[in-house]
Structures are given as C-alpha cells and as structure tokens.
Amino acid sequence: MKSEIILSLPPSKLRLGIIEALNLKVKPVTDSYLSKINSDISHLLEEDFVYPDHLQKGIRGLLKSFGFHPSGRNRPASEYLFKDLQNRKEFNSINNIVDINNHISLKYHLPISVFDLDASGFNLCVRIGLEDENYVFNREGQVLSLKKLLLVARHGEDRTAIGSPVKDSQATKVFEATRNVIMFIYTSANLTTEEELGNILDETAQLIKTEAEAETVETCIIDSLP
C-alpha cells in the first residue's frame, strides 16, 4: 500500500477498514451493477424495515466517545444515506466509485469515506477535530463543524481535514478525472469482528476491480486499541 496512515488518537474501540485502489476509471455505473445494488438494498425500502438499533447506537456511541454529538444534521453518513434512500424511494447513482461506497454503506450500515488520493495526498492521519476547525462539504458551500469529530486529515506540515464518518470535504471528492482513491470504513471492535470487516473489504475491493478496472487494490485493518 502506497498510502501511509497514522493514528493520532486516544485509545478507543475504533476499527478502520482501508482500501487503496490505483489506476482506476471513474465512469457511470453499469446497468448490471445498478441492478445488483437495487437487489441488495430493496429490503430497506419495505415499510416494515427497522434500522438496526445496535448499529445505530454503536456508531453513534463511537463518535460520542470522542466528545462529538452525532444527531440531526450531524448524524453518521450511513444514517443519512438510509434516510435519503427512503425519501427518494430509489438509489441515487452518481458514479461507479461513489456508488460502490454508498452501496456498501447501505448494505452494512457503516459510514464510509472515499477520497481522491491525488487531491488528499498519500500521507494521512486519523485524529480528532479542533475547536474552530471546519470544511466545506458540498458544492453549495455548506460547512461542517469538526469540533471533537473523528476525522481523516493530511499528515505533515499540512494537517487539513478532508473527511469524517459524517460528511467528507468537497476538496477531495471523487469525480471523472480521479485515478486513485482511498476508502475508510468506520466501525468499532465491539460491532464488527476482524473477520467480518475483512469480508466487507474483500467484497468492496472486488467491486472496484470489476466496476472501475483498478490496476491494483490493497486493503488493511487498523485498530485503535489500548
């Protein structure tokens, strides 16, 4: 893996799944893959579907453990995707990489970040947001306060935050010109075993190889345990 990821955190139950994919093609999703997505998430649109309580509480609890309050507009991205799906009544296809990100997030109810590696840089750290830190997270210029939020940032002299389990920075989002990406799957050791997360990583990596024709895809798991 070309990327270097450093944890600058207090000990916690945080468990990260990392996927680095190089020399890929960002393009519209294929009809066959979109059909698979719709099949996998169709149960989420059923009237009697209930969002898994242990996953909602578990992810929110993880963010609360660092002092952040994940509710309302600050809820985890996985919950936002679910609400957006229910409101639209259909999957919102954007491009193959973003669709893979959102498909896996919806399927497993885990927040995921995806970054353009050439925009983010290959040296990254995971830390807690500072008192007055923020970033723009969409084209409309809306700003997310990062105070006490678990986040991914550039590492080195430039420690600019680029993403989080809530929303990612607009500055490093994936578009058609993107050729290299990195994904962060956020979970905790008491929610997802290493084996379970490994299986999710393998599934995601295979989708990137198949749907985005990535030349190389590597994965790893990082824990922030005492």
Domain boundaries, the chain: 4-223
The per-residue pLDDT of the chain, averaged, comes to 95
Q: What confidence category does residue 225 fall into, taking pLDDT thresholds of 50, 70 and 90? A: confident
Question: 153: which strand partners?
Answer: 125, 161
Compute the average pLDDT of residues 9-33. Answer: 96
- 172 has pLDDT over 80: yes
- 145 has pLDDT over 70: yes
Residue 184 pLDDT: 98
CATH of 4-223, one of 3.40.50.300, 2.60.40.10, 2.30.40.10, 3.50.40.10: 3.50.40.10
Q: Tell me how far apart the alpha carbons of residues 226 and 59 are, in angstroms, rounded to a whole number.
A: 19
Which residues, 6+ apart, have CB-to-CB distance to 177 below 8 Å? 26
Q: What confidence category does residue 181 fall into, taking pLDDT thresholds of 50, 70 and 90? A: very high
Instruction: Please answer whether residues 4 and 123 qualify as being in contact, where contact means their C-beta atoms are separated by less than 8 angstroms.
Output: yes
Q: What confidence category does residue 110 fall into, taking pLDDT thresholds of 50, 70 and 90? A: very high
Instruction: Please answer whether residues 210 and 29 qualify as being in contact, where contact means their C-beta atoms are separated by less than 8 angstroms.
Output: no
Which residues, 6+ apart, have CB-to-CB distance to 22 below 8 Å? 2, 117, 179, 180, 214, 215, 216, 217
Helices (H), the chain: 31-41, 53-64, 77-88, 96-108, 117-120, 194-212
Q: What is the pTM of this model?
A: 0.95
In the chain the first and final C-alpha atoms are separated, in Å, by 25
